[in-house]
Structure 1
Amino acid sequence: MSRILITGMSGAGKTTLLNELSRRGHQTIDTDYDAWVLPNGTWDEPRMSALLESEASLVVSGTVENQGHFYDRFSVVVLLSAPVEVLIERVSVRTNNSYGSSGADQSQIRQHVLDVEPLLRNGATLELDGCRPVPELADEVERLIVASDQT
């Protein structure tokens, strides 16, 4: 039973990677959507607990303050990272999420790279380069799924 968390800064490619994994037939949850994140910026803990208790194989993405409370329920925690200028470029042109389009958002992202990304790196099992082609990243996550299912 594999449960994988994909985390990282805004613009790292989490949603794009999840879309590819979903296209390949994997069960995915992007916690940026469908009210997984509460107004205080944390995951809805009872809802996340129920999800992780009920799904056999699942790939979840998100970056929230309380995600560490759930690390022990994931087989692998993947940090998807990219240089800050790549992050800024991606968030400034994306159409599926307005966060990152303003200068204030971009300043916040730059600060999060300095303050939050090191914490994510410390909690991650594996770091993947978000600049790699999406099919390669999806292949890597699929290898993690297979390895987790075999243990």
Structure 2
Amino acid sequence: MGARSKARKRAVDVLYEADVRGADAVTLLAERVGSPDVPPVNDYTVTLVEGVTAHQARIDELITEHAEGWTLQRMPAVDRAVLRVGLYELLWAGDVPDAVAIDEAIELAKALSTDDSPRFVNGVLGRIAVIADQLRAVL
């Protein structure tokens, strides 16, 4: 697993924990960064957590619009975290190709969630990828 893939997984872990605990993800991450009890935090993990947090309202709005038949609250928390990271990379990370953002999110869903999650994540991010250029133009 590459450094960026590990950073994505760590970001999903932090976002998931923050979601479940009702905590602020950036604060939670800051606690991890200085802690001697946890492995060092990759800069890209920080970028992802801070980026998702900064754009979370818009990210959640887009997920809700494109998750056919699912509300955000009804989704498993890990799927929400994976979708948030994938969508952040899709729309705001200019150095990550769309296909890579989607593939990485699918791999995280395979590793961390249910058997149906990879297909669900692919569907949501795929629908958004079709209009990604239009969305980026108004961000």
Tell me the TM-score normalised to structure 1 length.
0.30
Higher-RCO chain (CA-CA 8 Å, sequence separation at least 6): 1
Larger relative strand fraction: 1
Tell me the TM-score normalised to structure 2 length.
0.32
Larger relative helix fraction: 2
